[in-house]
Structure 1
Amino acid sequence: MVKNIIRIDGMACSMCEAHVSDAIRKQFPDAKKVSASHGKKEASFVTEEPADEATVKKMIDETGYHYEGFCTEPYEKKGFFGLFG
């Protein structure tokens, strides 16, 4: 699994975060752990394979916010059940 992290400028409140999160869920219906933070100026979501950067950029541009970058990192489940593989 992969954590996709999008750097976004222009989000100012929790409604902005909800708008971005909804756009991610619409574009990537299988996404898990979708979250956005105007304080951190980023959004993230987990998928089986890395998301396509061009698709991510287009999606953010269409929301009216400013795409600033994209990266991925390996995602491992954490918590009690994660201890057992």
Structure 2
Amino acid sequence: MYRTTLGVDGMMCGMCEAHVREAVLKALERNLIAAKKVTASKSNKTVVVLAERPIAEKLLRTAVEATGYETTHFRCESYVEKGFFARIGSFFSNN
């Protein structure tokens, strides 16, 4: 699993977050990338994608910038789910 984070400047409200989130989801869908979770946060100024494979920086930047928002930092890193349900899921997937 990978967590990809892109900085986004200009989100001011919940509708802005939804707009960015939907743009990213559509871009991922067009590129046949299944995302487990996509979140946009105006307070953190980010959009975060959890997916089984790394997401290309250009793909995310293009999707977000097409909506009129400015992008900043980019980071893609391995991600291990934490918590009770992740442990249960890993228990069943190993059998």
Q: Settle same-fold status: TM greater than 0.5.
A: yes
Question: Which residue identity lines up with residue 53 of structure 2 in the other structure?
Answer: E
1:33 and 1:57 map into 2 onto residues whose CA distance is 18
- Asked whether 1:12 is paired with 2:18, we answer no
Aligned length: 85
* Percentage of identical aligned residues: 39
Aligned residue in 2 for 1:45: 49
- Structure 1 residues without counterparts, runs of 5 or longer: none
TM-score, normalised with respect to structure 2: 0.81
Structure 1: distance between partners of 2:39 and 2:86: 21
Alpha-carbon RMSD across the aligned residues, in angstroms, is: 1.3
Structure showing greater radius of gyration is: 2
Structure 1 segments of 4 or more deviating over 3 A?
none
Aligned partner letter, 2:12: A
User: Gaps (5+ residues) in structure 2?
Assistant: 91-95
Q: Deviations over 1:5-57 (max 9, x none)?
A: 01010100000000011011111131122111101100101111111111111
Say whether residues 1:21 and 2:25 are aligned partners.
Answer: no
* TM-score normalised by length of structure 1: 0.90
